[in-house]
Amino acid sequence: MKKLEFIYEDGPHKWAVVARDPEKPNFLIDTNEYLVVNGSEALLADPGGMEVFSAVFSAISAEVDPYTIRHLFASHQDPDVISSLALWLDFNPEIKCYLSCLWSSFIPHFGGTAETFIAIPDEGMGITLGNLALEAIPAHYLHSSGNFNLYDRKAKILFSGDVGAALLPPGEDGLFVENFDRHIRHAQGFHRRWMGSNAAKLNWCERVSRLDIDMLCPQHGAIYRGEDVKRFIDWFAALDVGSGIKE
């Protein structure tokens, strides 16, 4: 089953990742769900698909009271990101879901009411979790046309959604990137095929390189730490995206 692992702890302020499910069927892509906790309030970023709901829910419940989850953050509209929405709302109908204004009338097809959603404008917005300020950072066209990252300035963590994602083979699927050059081969195909705009990519790289980031956390694959964050941004800036269709 999936396990929750804390990746940042500073008193009541914590980040945890729910990752690596050995029982997951191979036809489902592996996903990382991130939980941001600030005291008695928590936000779950990219809560995952309906099929992995029980594994995610169990992993979280083993360490954190799931009633503390008051907010969901959907980086974009994909089923592996947010199709579990109806089940989370079944559990707690008061949960609010942050998502791009582009998708605020699409994602309700997965569940929810008019009161469930908080639409993020294209330019991004601040999200408060108790006394903690988080930021929805625009990452449009990477890969979705309405796409956001979540930045925690205090923890210096950027949840980057599909940016930085890698499809890791067994044996090379550690939680953190340990050997950048070896790891990035598994990210290359994904970024070339899923990311469609070089202009959007360069714009993102320019903005994100100005942020103070200790950890860059993608929805698939491994987490980049320290110098590997800059290495990734430089690598991504140089990559020709929108070029992944096999001839």
Partner 1 sequence: MVDVRSNTASQASDLHRVVKANEDIKKVIRISSGVNLVALNAMLTAKRSGERSRGFAVVSSELRVFSRKLEGAMTGLGALIFELVRDAAAMRKQHHERRHLLNIQARGQQMQKLIEPVLARMDERIHKTGGEIGRDWHQLRLQLNRVLQLCETGGSLSRSAKIEAVYGGDMSATLKQVANQIEETVNEIFSTLKLLRTQLAE
Binding positions for partner 1, rule: CB under 8 A: 1, 50, 53-55, 57-58, 61-62, 65-67, 86-87, 90-91, 111
CB nearer partner 1, residue 87 or residue 202: 87
CB nearer partner 1, residue 21 or residue 78: 21
> Minimum CB separation from partner 1 for residue 2, in Å?
10
CB nearer partner 1, residue 91 or residue 176: 91
Conformation bin of residue 141: beta by default, left when phi > 0, alpha when psi is -120 to 50: left
Contact 107, 74 (CB under 8 A): yes
Q: What is d(CA 155, CA 83) in angstroms, rounded to the nearest whole number?
A: 28
> Minimum CB separation from partner 1 for residue 92, in Å?
9
What would the two tokens of residue 200 be?
């959007």
CB nearer partner 1, residue 65 or residue 122: 65
> Minimum CB separation from partner 1 for residue 83, in Å?
10
> Minimum CB separation from partner 1 for residue 47, in Å?
13
> Minimum CB separation from partner 1 for residue 104, in Å?
21
What would the two tokens of residue 128 be?
């408060």
CB nearer partner 1, residue 9 or residue 65: 65
Residue 181 burial (CB count, 10 A): 8
Contact 135, 157 (CB under 8 A): no
CB nearer partner 1, residue 32 or residue 83: 83
Residue with tokens 């699927």: 173
CB nearer partner 1, residue 67 or residue 176: 67
Residue with tokens 């698909």: 49
Three-state SS at 10: strand
> Minimum CB separation from partner 1 for residue 84, in Å?
9
Residue 128's DSSP bridge partners are: 133
Q: What is d(CA 118, CA 98) in angstroms, rounded to the nearest whole number?
A: 5
> Minimum CB separation from partner 1 for residue 110, in Å?
10
